[in-house]
């Protein structure tokens, strides 16, 4: 077997608590499909037959009752439940499922919506015999107004500095702004080997990683690493150029193959060697190919640990981990798939004006004289007469009474909007009730119990 897919669906959605305090992030509806359906669909389209899903019990329960996942996803889902409250990072989760992992893995996060040609990432992993191959994308500007936001949102989020070589494929440097106190420092050894480096800041990490099995074994021994994105990837990128990897490895390989298992907790080195290593060496020596030119060293500068990145220039690639991203994804996700905009079981009266880019979910009831433009309406929602819904996201089980005017808002599941209410750029939490004739602009309306969580 070549690759095993691992889907990380236990994340809490800490950056959009208004949405996730009742619904776990993995099951948030995007275009009337649960969020985790998108990466599962991507894996299925590419040809995976089995996926290990790491999630919480709650999500697992919701998954088994969700029709979309049950019917559409034909792959075998091997669900591993972990504690919700536990502080398990993604790397800790990998350590947890270590016995199930038999070959190299492809780690995907549940909040990734993209239609990337996955072979581009995996080909880097295969062709260059890389230890890590990841996917990044040019960040898109979010144009929609986010409810509950005061003023223009400054990208106060920390930037990622990503350094790639001239071909744009080899990953040389990765650091987050938070870790760089007094400036960006690059080791001389890197600059000597790769004198031309492009440093990019406007990239979004898609959290899609191909990792060698040796990395998982390494994680088992090094319990201090708990997050793939935050700790493991920068560690691997740094280790490419560390001195110990190059010189000693070739001598020790022959002996270390046996000692690998015995070393245990003292072994902090990432041992990457395969069987028939001398044959591979011979083939590389005899091959007249080099990945760089201008200096005296052989291909890859003799290094065994290599990290590669595929940067997507165009095409959708979203990580739905903030409210803005959620809204954007809802806008664009339906365009990824050709599905009928109106679910066949929805009851829509003739005198309803529906825009072409709206989606109506299953078993909806839309009454007369309503106008729905650029919106997503979830399953089992009731929309009464004379309602105007523009640019909004309405989740499942919502009731909207007559005469409402909803614009640019997000209405969570099971909410009730009273008659004649006028909501502009609001976020209505789960199960909330908006009283009749209310007029709210740019507000986040959530229950009192949620307010305490901050």
Partner 1 sequence: MADSGETEGPGSKDVIERAKNEGRELTKEEKQRLRKEKKQQKKGKEKKDDKASQDGEKQKKPVSSASPAPQPATQPPTQKAPPAVPALVPVPASETPPPGDKPAKSKAELKAERRARQEAERASKQGKKGDVGGQQVAAGKPKAPPSELQPVVKRLPEYMQADNPEVLKKLAKKLERQQIPLRSDYGYKVSLFSHLHQYSRKAPLTQQLSIPSTVIHPAIVRLGLQYSQGIVAGSNARSVALLHAFKQVIRDYTTPPNEELSRDLVNKLKPYISFLNQCRPLSASMGNAIKYIKKEISNIPSQCKEEEAKSKLLTCIDCYINEKIILAAKAIAKSSIEKISDGDVILVYGCSSLVNHILCEAFEKNRKFRVIVVDSRPRLEGREALRRLVQRGISCTYVLISAVSYILPEVSKVFLGAHALLANGYVMSRVGTSQIALVAKAFNVPVLVCCETYKFCERVQTDSFVSNELDDPDDLIVTRKGKTQLEHWQDVRLLGLLNLVYDVTPPDFVDLVITDLGMIPCTSVPVVLRVKNVDQ
Which residues of this protein are in contact with partner 1, per CB under 8 A?
1-4, 46-49, 106, 117-119, 122-123, 126-129, 275-276, 279-280, 282-290, 293, 296
Cα–Cα distances in angstroms (integers) from residue 13 to residues 3, 60, 323, 375, in the given order: 27, 16, 10, 23
CB of 164 closer than 8 Å to CB of 150: no
Nearer to partner 1, 126 or 386 (CB): 126
As measured in angstroms, the least distance from the Cβ of 369 to partner 1 is 50
Nearer to partner 1, 57 or 102 (CB): 102
As measured in angstroms, the least distance from the Cβ of 211 to partner 1 is 14
Distance CA 141, CA 324 (A): 10
Distance CA 175, CA 14 (A): 22
Supply 370's token pair: 């309503």
Quick one: which of 99, 206, 118 has its CA closest to 160? 206
Nearer to partner 1, 261 or 286 (CB): 286
- Classify burial at 338, counting beta carbons within 10 Å of its beta carbon; exposed 0-12, middle 13-18, buried 19 or more: exposed
Task: Say how far residue 416 (Cα) sits from the centre of its chain.
Answer: 31
As measured in angstroms, the least distance from the Cβ of 162 to partner 1 is 23
Nearer to partner 1, 157 or 298 (CB): 298
Nearer to partner 1, 61 or 76 (CB): 76
As measured in angstroms, the least distance from the Cβ of 172 to partner 1 is 19
As measured in angstroms, the least distance from the Cβ of 115 to partner 1 is 14
CB of 26 closer than 8 Å to CB of 34: yes
As measured in angstroms, the least distance from the Cβ of 286 to partner 1 is 4
Nearer to partner 1, 37 or 125 (CB): 125
DSSP string for 35-66: TTHHHHHHHHHHT--EEEEEEEHHHHHHHHH-
């Amino acid at each position: 077997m070549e690759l095993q897919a691992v889907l990380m669906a236990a994340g809490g959605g800490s950056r959009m608590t208004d949405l996730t305090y009742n619904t776990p992030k993995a099951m948030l509806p995007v275009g009337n499909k649960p969020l985790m359906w998108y990466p599962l669909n991507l894996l299925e389209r590419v040809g995976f037959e089995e996926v290990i899903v790491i999630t919480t019990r709650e999500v697992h329960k919701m998954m088994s009752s969700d029709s979309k996942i049950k019917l559409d996803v034909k792959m075998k889902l091997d669900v591993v439940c972990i504690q919700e409250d536990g502080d398990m990072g993604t790397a800790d989760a990998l350590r947890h499922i270590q016995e199930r992992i038999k070959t190299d893995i492809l780690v995907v996060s549940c909040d990734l919506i993209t239609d990337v040609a996955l072979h581009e990432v995996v080909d880097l992993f295969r062709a260059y015999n890389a230890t890590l191959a990841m996917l990044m994308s040019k960040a898109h500007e979010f144009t929609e107004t986010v409810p509950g936001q005061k003023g223009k949102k400054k990208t106060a989020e920390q930037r990622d500095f990503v350094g790639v070589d001239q071909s744009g494929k080899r990953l040389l440097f990765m650091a987050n702004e938070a870790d760089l106190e007094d400036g960006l420092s690059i080791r001389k050894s890197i600059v000597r080997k790769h004198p031309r480096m492009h440093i990019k800041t406007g990239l979004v990490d898609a959290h899609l990683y191909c990792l060698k099995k040796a990395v998982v074994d390494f994680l088992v021994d090094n319990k201090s690493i708990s997050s793939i994105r935050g700790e493991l990837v920068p560690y691997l990128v740094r280790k490419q150029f560390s001195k110990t990897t190059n010189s000693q490895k070739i001598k020790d390989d022959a002996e270390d193959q046996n000692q690998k298992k015995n070393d245990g907790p003292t072994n902090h080195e990432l041992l990457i060697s395969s069987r028939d290593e001398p044959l591979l060496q011979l083939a590389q020596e005899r091959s007249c190919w080099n990945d760089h030119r201008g200096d005296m060293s052989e291909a890859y500068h003799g290094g065994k640990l290599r990290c590669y990145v595929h940067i997507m220039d165009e095409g959708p690639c979203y990580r739905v981990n903030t409210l803005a991203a959620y809204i954007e994804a809802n806008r664009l996700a339906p365009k990824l798939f050709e599905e009928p905009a109106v679910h066949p079981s929805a009851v829509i009266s003739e005198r309803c004006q529906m825009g072409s880019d709206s989606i109506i979910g299953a078993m909806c009831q839309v009454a007369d004289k309503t106008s729905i433009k650029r919106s997503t309406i979830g399953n089992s929602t009731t929309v009464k007469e004379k309602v105007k819904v523009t640019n909004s996201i309405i989740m499942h089980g919502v009731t909207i009474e007559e005469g409402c005017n909803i614009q640019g808002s997000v209405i969570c599941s099971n909410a009730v909007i009273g008659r004649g209410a006028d909501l502009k750029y609001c976020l209505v939490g789960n199960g909330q009730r908006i009283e009749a004739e209310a007029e709210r602009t740019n507000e986040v309306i959530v229950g009192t119990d949620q307010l305490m969580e901050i």
